[in-house]
Structure 1
């Protein structure tokens, strides 16, 4: 009997043992099979989550941010315990005690699944397992993924500490509203930092990981409230908050940015602008800035890294002057647009059914894509026409409360315009608002106020059809302090300051004169101003002056002050277009300029960005300056990976530097033109402002130089000018070039933009006399004839010109470019080769003269 009992229990023991062994082998086999192709968990130790790159102004204010995933990375030791405790209570209360997986939770989930016959399948993943799923595995709900999850979770627990795992989880997890990580979510939902969150707010965030889209704070407010209160109960049961705190927090209403309880974080940021978008473009696309950063990092740098790398970019923008630039350009564009008397509106409408309820039309208006970034004599608001009467139109205005009598557009506000019909024709001049707008039309409006600032009425506005660009830069550092690429960024993101290729017209002429002055000519050199006819493959080219008059022998100074085209062509012919092209390329106006004679009048296209930078080199005495929108770029750890200012401070660290004396700064800048040439040219361009083509519109309290530019038929108008500290430029024209009409000139349209901006810039940056370089002397001359005058001569015809020491000045010698002079000019003349010996700025004697022939002369003809 005993033997039988022993045999029976022995058999049972054997079966059990074999079963255990078989189970162990089976489980081991399963684990071995699933561990063969598992991703490396060790890479998480070096993981750098995608984070937001931010752009700051020169004053350090946050002005924009870019990201693929909106995430603000926060180290574990900077995440408040309250936030950690809320997520642990909601997702994994045994987080600090388990080894990566929780067998009790897995068992409980299994029992629940069996009882519900698979209808209720709740997750049993620990925070560690969720990290594995989010980082290394897919999100499919399969047993294979669960096994892999457990294996990796147990491994990562041996590699990383609990705090490191929690850091990964809280920074990576998606919490809805395009927010990744707890810091970004706190900003998105409450516009708060993590340290400012109350327990009920931390609990709300901890409610999100389960299903962010199903716990929306507006659409699923009640469901989210229930989940939030559950998390608070768990926090109380886990000992993270006491009963009194729980009772207080659970009674708090569910508040959020989305529900209108807090201002959104974006309201603290200015609207995206041409400036910040240009920084994004230069950091993302092929540019010198991107190449410089790539060299610093030792790898390629581009859009992907910028949008995920968490970079801090310190921009050069001056926020106050940027607003002035925007207003100045918009004012001129709108003034021209309204003078044309054409009403185009926005082209957007809202269906009549949505106009009956205020809630409905406000929701519909909010969804319409119209610019909301326009400020000109006050904010411009989107509005919808709710009713049209015989004499007025009632409007509903975004973000403006309804008045008891309603908001109205009056008849006297529309008499300036004619409506542009769908076929392109114009209606008769409007007498009442109904002639321009219909019910349901979306329009832009602004408030008209009196001199005391009191509201008078609402006025219809529209985005200008004519466009333009403006840019201002420090002449010594290249820091771009203001940039406006059009009327409104939200209406058109195309940056006309950096991307638009336009003909600079006469604003190019200073480069012709620079080449001449460096080649031995002087401001007193006489050039013939007389008609020219040139045979070209495209036909006979007959350039003319803007005035359609000819003035005979004239000094160089007068030629640039009065923007004489025929003098410029003759001068370019004398110097040689290859020489002129070389100067334009050296200054960065063009990469490869065609040596065509018409290009001396600015017929080849370039950008405002390049022109302003080139003029900056005139202003600083002829040294190269590279324009930049970025002062410094730092990585996510605060390391500087790019700095624009490469100047060296010679004695900044010297203890012997006397008190009150500024340290010496060495610029190490390349010289692109002779300093005397730069001063001579600047002096001549001062004449443009004082008595030349810009004299009527530019009048600053400090010495100012510049040049106007107007192309054929006034398709583009320009003014680029500078003081001793700041250079600024403007161009205006249609995006699809067409004539601007009679009276459109660089002086009349761009001059006022420059004047308005520089009036404020001078208050901030000052300005003084342009520095006179050594190596020269002043001689008074007659600015009409070029003849030398006694030292005591005075009068409006007298000007003191700066000449190089030792230069052989041949007063009275006239140059005609080989075209013929005065009454001896033949009816028709082809370009002929000629040459002349001149002394250059370096003291050498060289032969310069025309390099152009039939095949290199364009049929341009700009003025």
Structure 2
């Protein structure tokens, strides 16, 4: 009997020893892997490449970002120093309250999650993964559910904790969580939910974002299709926000007074658009790159591959010219709106609370005080920033309003000060802004209903493209149909003098029928002229349409054939030996920068892009 007990004890001891040895071996293996294992896939450059997979567009100086293409996921990477402390604390409180104390794995959270699951009938509703583990999972992009995957993530969690500070890990995590559709990260969340930059998020907004990470669609009223579902989602969002505030209060990160006040506030949803402000320009460039020849040169089949290839695309856009062109377009469209429609306050729904302003940008503000007298001023509330429209700015606006009326500007100045009331919403341009005091100097503007477009060229290359007042949606600069007007007449006159015409040559100034591109063209003048024949000089001074059309149709009449051939040869516009007609057409189009139609423009620029593809497109 004793022998049997002794054998049982010995077997148990051996089993325990083997088990202990196995555990020690496992721990030793984990420790060795953590400190000496391959961590190349956790290097910052590798992590950043995975987070930032978007193909990015840059200006001519190769320094300034225009925007980016994205396919499955869109991120706007934000560094930790740009993220408010409330946002950081809210995320930690919601996802991993012991984050700053553990070393990658939180045993307490794992045990609590397991116990809760068992008590709920083995329904595990809460995970025990730490922020570090979730970061690793997002970085590694492991989709299979297996013990091997969990073990690998565990080891990687310890490794990443050894390699990076807590703030750096949080930065990775905050740029990876799902927001909506193909948007990921705190930058997209701030813009999508509240139409703000991350740095402008307040406590309530931060608490909601942190609470929405695990199930964003449940709390998102923007994706609901009817009023009832929207209200339900909004209520769920408030409940989730309050859950995070409660955990922040329990951690001692907010006071009881702040907690109670925040508990009563609703989540202030204000849907924004995430992406580049140069939407139309990015779309234009994307269309230019979506060509078979370019994709084949890059070893790709579709534009979606290019979008997620992490390329850097350097364009011909000049940063300074683009910014100036956009600003001038906005200012002058606003002036034109006032000239055409006089001045009036904007809809009250246009006003939204702001936490910061940017000079030379346009914002809605609310009138708080109007000072009359010799030096009138209007005081404006933008939210946290406060502004003033000084007398000289008001006088400039009054002078614009006087242009179509012939009334003294003083009359319009008085009219502005009389029309506007405290509480009215106005549209302004910020001329100066002090980031420390949040004080601004503004100028009164009018949000235009008219619009325009602009393209500037330098030696055949596009330097700026402005699609309208807002750089998104329809690209008026490229796709709107418009006539060049009488500006083109000077081009005709200049070309005619090079072709042997003089300013005293006689031009027919009567209505005639012309054959143009296989169709009949019967132009008419915009004013009555007493003369059927005029000189080129007269046609230029009086802007005679009919005489200019006649000159265009007969531009080469002064040249004989030999002179014409010499001219073409001098300009390298004759076909070369053995050159196919199509190649000749595209060569001439590319060299001269003169295109007959949109397809010609696209083909010519495509030819140049393929030729220069290596220096123009560089892998990140």
State the TM-score, normalizing by the size of structure 1: 0.40
Task: Pick closer, same or farther for the CA change 1:88–1:544 going to 2, 3 Å.
Answer: closer
Q: Is the 8 A contact 1:55 1:63 kept in 2?
A: yes
Alignment partner of 1:277 is 2:261:
no
Listed one character per residue, the Cα deviations across residues 27-57 of structure 1 (whole Å, up to 9, x for unaligned) are 9999999x9999923356651544898999x
Of the three residues 101, 106, 113, the one matched with 1:97 is 101
Partner residue of 1:41?
42
What is the 5 A alignment of 1:798-809?
none
SS of the aligned residue for 2:178 comes to coil
Instruction: Give the CA deviation at 1:124.
Output: 1.1
Aligned to 1:235: 248
Superposition deviation, residue 100 in structure 1 = 1.8
Query: Relative to 1, partners in 2 of residues 1:593 and 1:304: Cα closer, same or farther, differing over 3 Å?
Result: same
Task: Find the aligned partners of 2:255 and 2:451 in 1 and give their Cα distance.
Answer: 63
Does 2:496 align with 1:493? no
Asked if the contact 1:52/1:67 (under 8 Å) is kept, the reply is: yes
Find the residue that maps to 1:74 and give its secondary structure.
coil
Structure 2 CA distance for aligned equivalents of residues 143 and 153 of structure 1: 15
Alignment partners' CA distance in 2, 1:512 and 1:195: 55
Whole-Å separation in 2 of the counterparts to 1:505 and 1:195: 47
CA distance 1:380–1:110, shift in 2 (3 Å): closer
Task: Mark the structure with the bigger radius of gyration.
Answer: 1
Cα 1:569/1:187, change in 2 over 3 Å: closer
Question: 2:174 aligned with 1:166, yes or no?
Answer: no
Deviations 1:605-653 (A, max 9, x none): 457xx9xxxxxxxxxxxxxxxxxxxxxxxxxxxxxxxxxxxxxxxxxxx
2:135 paired with 1:131: yes
**C-alpha deviation, 1:188, in angstroms:** 3.9
Give the Cα separation in 2 of the matches to 1:529 and 1:477: 34
Question: Structure 2 residue aligned with 1:572, among 556, 571, 577?
Answer: 556
Contact conserved, 1:99 with 1:154, CA < 8 A, in 2?
A: yes
Residue from 265, 270, 276 that aligns with 1:253: 265
Q: Distance in 2 between matches of 1:577 and 1:565?
A: 21
SS at match of 1:154: helix
Once residues 284 and 248 of structure 1 are traced to their aligned partners in structure 2, the CA distance between those partners, rounded to angstroms, is 50
Unaligned runs of 5+ in 2: 60-64, 222-230, 295-302, 348-411, 420-449, 574-584, 602-620
Q: Aligned ranges for residues 620-639 of structure 1 at < 5 Å?
A: none
Match status 1:514 vs 2:494: yes
Paired residues for 1:383-532 under 5 Å: 471=454, 493=474, 495=476, 497-499=477-479, 510-511=490-491, 513-518=493-498, 521=500, 523-524=502-503, 526=505, 529=508
Question: Aligned runs of 1:118-267 on 2, under 5 Å?
Answer: 118-139=122-143, 141-176=145-180, 180-191=184-195, 194=198, 197-216=201-220, 218-250=231-263, 252-258=264-270
Distance 1:127 1:281, change over 3 A: same
Contact 1:322 1:483 in 2 (8 A): no
Aligned Cα root-mean-square deviation (Å): 6.3
Cα distance in structure 2, aligned partners of 1:94 and 1:377 = 57
Can you give the 5+ residue segments of structure 1 that lack an aligned partner in the other structure? 57-61, 259-263, 292-299, 333-374, 382-450, 455-466, 595-601, 611-863
The 8 Å contact of residues 509 and 568 in structure 1, kept in 2 or not, is answered as no
Match of 2:224 in 1: none
CA distance in 2, matches of 1:116, 1:97: 28
Shift of 1:206: 1.6
Contact 1:471 1:482 in 2 (8 A): yes
Deviation of 1:13 after TM superposition, in Å, equals 1.1
Separation in structure 2 between the aligned mates of residue 131 and residue 593 of structure 1, nearest angstrom: 55
Deviation track 1:196-243 (CA, whole Å, cap 9, x = no partner) reads 555444322221112111223643344333333332332233332344
Q: Is the helix fraction higher in 1 or 2?
A: 2
The answer on whether the counterparts of 1:203 and 1:228 sit within 8 Å (CA) in structure 2 is yes
Total equivalences in the alignment: 443
Residues of 2 paired with 1:153 and 1:81: CA distance?
A: 24
The C-alpha deviation readout for 1:655-676, integer Å capped at 9, x for no partner, is xxxxxxxxxxxxxxxxxxxxxx
Q: 1:64 to 1:83 in 2, by over 3 A?
A: same
Q: Alpha-carbon deviation of 1:127?
A: 0.5
Where does residue 76 of structure 1 map in the other structure? 80
Could you say what secondary structure the match of 1:285 adopts? helix
* 8 Å Cα contact 1:327/1:376 also seen in 2: no
Partner of 2:386: none
Do the aligned partners of residues 54 and 83 (structure 1) sit closer, same or farther apart at CA in structure 2, a change above 3 Å counting? Answer: farther
Cα distance in 2 between the residues matched to 1:565 and 1:199: 67
Provide the rounded CA distance (Å) in 2 between the counterparts of 1:6 and 1:545: 118
Report the alpha carbon displacement of residue 24 of structure 1 after superposing the two structures with TM: 6.8
What CA distance in whole angstroms lies between the structure 1 residues aligned with 2:108 and 2:549? 90
8 A Cα contact 1:526 1:556, kept in partner: yes
**Number of the residue aligned with 1:769:** none
Q: 2: distance between equivalents of 1:309 and 1:235?
A: 44
By how many angstroms is 1:92 displaced? 1.1
Which residue number corresponds to residue 10 of structure 1?
10
Q: Secondary structure, in 3 states, of the residue corresponding to 1:77?
A: helix
1:165 to partner: Cα distance: 0.8
Matches of 1:150 and 1:28, distance apart in 2: 14
Maintained 8 Å contact 2:41/2:47: no
Q: Distance in 2 between matches of 1:528 and 1:75?
A: 68
